[in-house]
Chains A and B, each alone.
Chain A
Amino acid sequence: MRKIKCVIIGGGSAGLSAALSLVKQGIEDILILERDQELGGILNQCIHNGFGLHTFNEELSGPSYAERYIQMLETTKVKVLLNTMVIKITQDRIIEYTNPNEGYVQIQADSIILAMGCRERTRGAISIPGYRPAGIWTAGTAQRYLNLEGYLCGKRVFILGSGDIGLIMARRMTLEGAIVCGVAELQPYSNGLPRNIKQCLEDFNIPLYLSHTITDIKGIDRVEQITINQVNSKFEPIENTEKVFDVDTVLLSVGLIPENALSEEIEIKIHSKTKGPLVNESYMTSVPGIFACGNVLHVHDLVDFVSHEASKTGLAVARYLTHDLDMDCGYPCSSGQGIGYVVPMQVQPKNIEINLEILFRVNKPSKDTTILVKDGQRIIKEVKKRHLNPSEMEKIILTKDEISNITEGIQVEVAQ
């Protein structure tokens, strides 16, 4: 069986950045397995601008951002297999894949980086009542049709969910001549970045209905009409608040879930909130030698953060391959009151070289709040935040000194 030092599953933003990071550490025996016909992942269909501000200090489109990484990769010895589907991985890091050239192949990896990204939640995940006609898509599918294939999938559109892809598509379809009648969001606040609310909805006078959901879809062959209702604090529709829209298309932008089909089969532990693998400070999952980064780990707001995380993962994998990582699991890192989740979920202070970055999301919006990082009852760090929003990932950096004498574990919480 062919042996490879590191196999990266997925050639999108996370996989590309992880590979380049490994190369910088002197490891070039890397294979990227990508199921699509080109590298770049979802970036290729994200033609809007706003990518790369942190990484390149420029505002690029998604395809441009991907191209920068692909060009850097082409100067290395990293091998890439396109049109290649991984069908199974094992706890011993054997990878089974298929592609049209080689058929079915098994390879042995010293380490694996999971970089498969995420997928969109569908109508099935949120149980919208009504008929099941054509014309109901996830926003990302509509985006692929429009930006890669050149098809505008509807003329009168309603969007459920205020996730960023939905907002981006509201603008994109409007520019292409469709009429976007509105966006309904179940929560009392938007789930998209404020910048997208402004430039994708307000710029085009598209109404955003907060605390609303779709309660009916009518249409036999194609969507003809939808009904939305206001919801109460338990998200139950309130009677007599119906609004009816004659539309031919419904786009769903109701959240993303890490792509875990391969991970779950080998019983990699999955976090109940992130829906991605549990990882330690080195981005290693519960199965030794298997790492995860990017949207397969937790859904990020910005590709720059994905690249950054993947780059750090590459560094950690290089240390793993040279037996420089302490494999003792260390202390738990967890979320306290007001915090949705934290990444990583386990911290071994011995493996921290300079500092530890803890990423987290809050449960609800707030202003002028203090975030506390605690070890048991002892406060390690206090950070003041002017604005906190569930849609915006937050970061706290702890220095090596600050975590050197932990006794119970790290907990992040919102101060009362």
Chain B
Amino acid sequence: MKQEMICITCPMSCHLLIEVEGKQVIEVTGNACPRGKEYAINEITSPVRVLTSTVIIENALYPRLPVITSKPIPKDKMMDVMREIDKIKVQAPINVKDVIIQDVCSLGVDILASRSMNKMEHEVNDGKY
């Protein structure tokens, strides 16, 4: 059976054509890079996504720190991971790639800071104007 799919690995959005037998991928065409093939196989067998969100940060320029999963996580675990992320509060300073949660939901994936935020000595914007 042939299945059409759009690769979402990067914004190139390659149109993939996948030859599938049951849950087995026979052939992938239309991909511009090897990651397209990997995506197609994952998407048929066990779809994964990179998850991004924010956690509360204190004494920084903004009251939120953006975070990202260190690797893609199973699609059906996104809400579980969001609940863990929601519990976190950190203090500035934070460096990009600092581990914010280690091995979240025992998935073997860390939640990392996706930017650095300096400690603000004065005029912290705590969301109140």
Contacts and interface: CB of A to CB of B under 8 A. Distances in A.
Please say whether chains A and B are actual partners in one complex.
yes
A140 to B, nearest CB: 16
Contacts of B28: none
Given A64-B115, A195-B7, A38 B61 contact: yes
Contacts of A147: 54, 64, 66
Contact of A67 (B63, B75, B79, B96): B96
B119 interface: no
A150 B62 CA distance: 9
A194 B64 contact: no
Interface residues of A, number: 36
B107 interface: no
Given A64-B115, A149-B62, A203-B75, A302 B50 contact: no
B11 A67 contact: no
Contact of A195 (B13, B53, B79, B115): B13
A151 B13 CA distance: 31
Contacts of A38: 61
Contacts, number: 87
B127 interface: yes
Contacts of B66: 47, 61-63, 147
A199 B12 CA distance: 14
Contacts of A50: 10-11
Contact of B6 (A62, A148, A198): A198
A230 B18 CA distance: 34
B72 to A, nearest CB: 10
Interface in B1-58: 6-13, 15, 49-54, 56
Given A49-B68, A175-B78, A203-B49, A387 B8 contact: no
Given A37-B61, A195-B13, A67 B116 contact: yes
A382 interface: no
Interface residues of B, number: 31
A110 interface: no
B105 interface: no
A297 to B, nearest CB: 19
Nearest to B129: A149
A386 interface: yes
Tell me which of B53, B54, B68, B115 has the highest count of chain A C-beta atoms within 10 A of its own C-beta: B115
Contact of A53 (B11, B54, B96): B11
Interface of A: 37-38, 44, 47-50, 53, 59-64, 66-67, 146-151, 175-176, 193-195, 197-199, 203, 301-302, 386-387, 392
29 contacts: A47-B52, A47-B66, A59-B9, A59-B50, A60-B114, A63-B66, A64-B68, A64-B114, A66-B115, A67-B116, A147-B64, A147-B66, A148-B62, A148-B64, A149-B64, A149-B127, A150-B54, A175-B53, A175-B78, A175-B82, A176-B53, A176-B82, A193-B11, A193-B13, A194-B13, A194-B15, A198-B6, A301-B11, A302-B11
Interface of B: 6-13, 15, 49-54, 56, 61-64, 66, 68, 75, 78-79, 82, 96, 114-116, 127
